[in-house]
Amino acid sequence: MEGLYSFLVMLDGLLGGAGWFPFVLLGVGFFFTIYLKFPQIRFFKHAWQVVTGKYDKESDPGDTTHFRALTTALSGTVGTGNISGVAFAIFLGGPAALFWMWATAFLGMTTKFVEVTLSHKYRVKTEDGTMAGGPMYYMDRRLNMKWLAVAFAIATVISSFGTGNLPQSNGIAQSIEATFGFEPWIVGSVLGIFLALVILGGIQRIAAFTARVVPVMAVVYLIGALAVIFANIENIGPSFAAVISDAFTGSAAAGGFLGASLAYAFNRGVNRGLFSNEAGQGSAPIAHAAAKTKEPASEGMVSLLEPFIDTIIICTITGLVILSSGVWKEKHENVFDRSDMLFVEGHYDDSDQADVNKLYGYLNEIEGNDVSAFNGTISVVNGTAVSDGYTLLNSRSVAEDVTYSVGSEDLFTGTLTIEDGKPIKENLVVSGKSLVHSATLTTIAFTRGFFGDFGQYIVSIGLLLFAFSTAIAWSYYGDRAMTYLLGPRSVMPYRVIYVAGFVWASFSDTTLVWALSAVAIVVMTLPNLFGIMLLAKEMKETVNEYWDRVTK
């Protein structure tokens, strides 16, 4: 697994983690925002009118209403990205990361408007009578680029696991275990059965389920979040100030947080913003293709609401909960994931500014730092290391009160061999105090409000509903891609593998899952951004023609 993780990290470094990717993603959104004269502002009111059914016609072709298409697409985006993803972004980049998530969302409103409009315009009716759409159809039917359509469809299938399946299952299981103590494999197995029951019903059952669940889960989550925000109201102003000021300087070290450079916070904020709202990824157009309408641009306008709801509202609320409560810079007792751990040469103390500066350079990949991975042996007696000459970093922080065990209970005594900063003993369990991230961080933050420890249950329930509905929506995206690639008969085998993957991810390594997600998102996004840029002129004409008809 460590080899796979290293390979995925390498790919992410070349793709989503590379310096060029955020500029490509934001650049496309910025281009269309200017080219279409700020549609996210001009059409915002009209979009709400379309969603509420003002322009609905029962005779229009399609499988579901505008509202249900929106809730299905929202259920695909409102998931672990809003609970785990925001926490992960702040963990990596500090308050500055939240600003870049906002920027991604604002420009992403236009990007999603474009991709949904074009995909809806070239949707088709399949052999079983349902609608099928998505970027692969405009790539094939309009651009005559079958190779690009096939590449995108394959990437969609991969991303259905990397975005909508594995991280969701892992996030649910992690939160439920932390709150209720249930074994992750049990959680994954039970939910896997429910997942199979829902997705076998196709888009009609999926749309009906999400139309009921999405509004409920949003209200529950909002109540819990506001309980924390109002309990820490004196920290809201400073939190907003930190988000804005750090956006152009990077986030300084604070508590156990060792700091993040501007470049690192920018990259991680944009990357997590994409994971959260999926604007540009090409996933939402698949759900919106089922909407009943003859006007592709009207469905595109509905879709521009998604990044606003998903990121500018829900992610901001989560971010304020984490920042105002202060948990993001505190060390908490936890069991260390192997891929989060790194032994480095020498002794470092995060209360010493000189040591913080060195570790800052190392973690932010700044050239010229002299921190290196540790190679050697460590003597351990009754779970406590008795040798020196190294520092254990876990989750980008200096670990404290570290205990080494074999299995779940037996304290380890003996010699540990460390190679390239990693222990080679397979059944070693390492625990202690360090920064935490993902769903665990958000769960802790929710206990710092008026509800106290009860707040953790709100996160667990919210994450369960958010993430489970995301997995359901992404199963639909994947089966539409399989329909395009191999026809309707390929859908059932895909669904079986999809459910199996959901169960497996519940007890797999968190960091490994997120690494796969980071790669899968980008291999789906790049072909879609390329395609919509080629159709910029047609997009403008489609929107102008629609708006002329509506305003007459």
pLDDT number for residue 231: 96
Domain spans of the chain?
A: 2-33+49-330+445-546, 337-434
Residue type at position 550? V
Beta carbons of 276 and 284 less than 8 angstroms apart = no
Q: Is the pLDDT of residue 37 over 70?
A: yes
pLDDT number for residue 439: 79
Output the average pLDDT for the chain: 87
| Residue 326, CB-side half-sphere exposure with 13 Å CA sphere | 11
Residue with the two structure tokens 């908490």: 332
pLDDT number for residue 212: 73
pLDDT number for residue 297: 92
Count of positions (residues) in the chain: 552
Q: Is the pLDDT of residue 61 over 60?
A: no
pLDDT in tens, 439-448: 789 989 999 9
pLDDT number for residue 63: 56
The whole-number average pLDDT for the span 188-215 is 77
Residue type at position 108? G
Q: Is the pLDDT of residue 134 over 70?
A: yes
The whole-number average pLDDT for the span 79-87 is 75
Q: Is the pLDDT of residue 42 over 80?
A: yes
pLDDT in tens, 208-239: 776 677 677 778 888 999 999 999 999 999 99
Q: Is the pLDDT of residue 464 over 90?
A: no
Q: Please, what is the end-to-end C-alpha distance for the chain in angstroms?
A: 61
Better-predicted residue by pLDDT, 163 or 117: 117
The whole-number average pLDDT for the span 480-507 is 91
Measured distance CA(112)–CA(153) in Å, rounded: 18
Q: What Rg do the C-alpha atoms of the chain give, in angstroms?
A: 23
The whole-number average pLDDT for the span 64-81 is 65
What is the CATH class of 2-33+49-330+445-546? mainly alpha
Better-predicted residue by pLDDT, 517 or 329: 329
pLDDT number for residue 215: 76
Beta carbons of 503 and 188 less than 8 angstroms apart = yes
pLDDT in tens, 325-380: 999 999 999 999 888 999 999 999 999 999 999 999 999 888 878 899 999 999 99
Q: Is the pLDDT of residue 153 over 90?
A: yes
Better-predicted residue by pLDDT, 409 or 112: 112
pLDDT in tens, 85-119: 788 889 999 999 999 989 988 999 999 999 999 99
The whole-number average pLDDT for the span 52-63 is 65
Give one DSSP letter per residue of 161-220, joined into a string.
HHTTTHHHHHHHHHHHHHHH---HHHHHHHHHHHHHHHHTTHHHHHHHHHHHHHHHHHHH
CA distances from 240 to 94, 208, 234, 276 (A): 12, 37, 11, 20
pLDDT band with cut points at 50, 70 and 90 for residue 79: low
Residue type at position 136? M
Q: What is the pTM of this model?
A: 0.82
> How many percent of the chain have pLDDT more than 90?
48
